[in-house]
Amino acid sequence: MAERTLLNQLIDALRCLPGVGPKSAQRIAFHLLERDRDGGSRLARVMGEAMARIRRCSRCRTLSEHEQCGLCANPNRDPSLLCVVEQPSEIVAIEHATDFRGYYFVLGGHLSPLDGIGPAELGLDLLEARLREGQVTELILAISPTVEGSVTAQYIAECAGAAAVHVTRIAHGVPLGGELEHVDGGTLALAFSGRRTL
């Protein structure tokens, strides 16, 4: 059994990062210790501060160090449009790629009863309350087209229907610049079923 030295503890701690296995963790640890101690110290300081101060926005559930995130606090956005995403990183992607000017709601995952993730874990009670406020006229579902994502989208659509809010779902299909011969059958089927008039 390997001795639980501070170096071994550092390597083990780095393995919590996504995509970082034992070899990558060891490489990162040695790099920080041998070549960039200032960077390692800064990383440790900022990470500690982030873990202590960043929480979920009270309005949309994205990550923020304030009670409300910058997007929710922006009065120049359109309150009639609300886009539901699974993760905070998807907000960044939408903001960079589109001209969407509405607000967001972050689920933090999708419904998965086998994993113990139900409506309460996704904050769907907060979403329903927000829909009942009466400002939202269109709810845009930007949820992955997986089985769990589709079930989650259907559940949310039913909640929105009860609040008389129009529901749309982002299109899925062939990627821009993609060749049809390389697209899988499921994606191609989605593209065909979601076709629109030019």
Report the candidate in 46, 56, 73, 37 with the shortest Cα–Cα distance to residue 109: 56
Domain count across the chain = 2
pLDDT of residue 198: 59
Q: Are residues 165 and 86 part of one domain?
A: yes
Position 175 in a domain: no
Cα–Cα dist 97/85, whole Å:
15
Residue with tokens 């503890």: 9
Position 123 in a domain: yes
Q: Which of 29-38, 137-146, 175-184 has the lowest mean pLDDT?
A: 175-184
Give the residue-averaged pLDDT of 88-94: 95
CATH of the domain at 83: 3.40.1360.10
Compute CA distances 153 → 7, 117, 149, 188, 193, whole Å: 45, 14, 6, 20, 17
Position 186 in a domain: no
196 pLDDT band, cuts 50/70/90, is low
Position 38 in a domain: yes
Q: Are residues 48 and 82 part of one domain?
A: no
- Cα torsion at 144, 65, 14, 112 (round to 10°)? -30
Q: What is the pTM of this model?
A: 0.85
Position 100 in a domain: yes
CATH of the domain at 45: 1.10.8.420
Q: Are residues 165 and 114 part of one domain?
A: yes
Tokens at 114, concatenated:
């086998």
Per-residue pLDDT reduced to its tens digit, 117-143: 999 999 999 999 999 999 999 999 999
Q: Are residues 37 and 91 part of one domain?
A: no
Q: Identify residue 11 by its one-letter amino acid code.
A: I
Beta pairing partners, 41: none
pLDDT at 197 over 90: no
Q: Identify residue 183 by its one-letter amino acid code.
A: V
Position 43 in a domain: yes
pLDDT of residue 177: 78
Residue with tokens 């299109």: 171
Domain span including residue 85: 77-169
Q: Are residues 31 and 92 part of one domain?
A: no
- Terminal-to-terminal C-alpha distance of the chain: 65
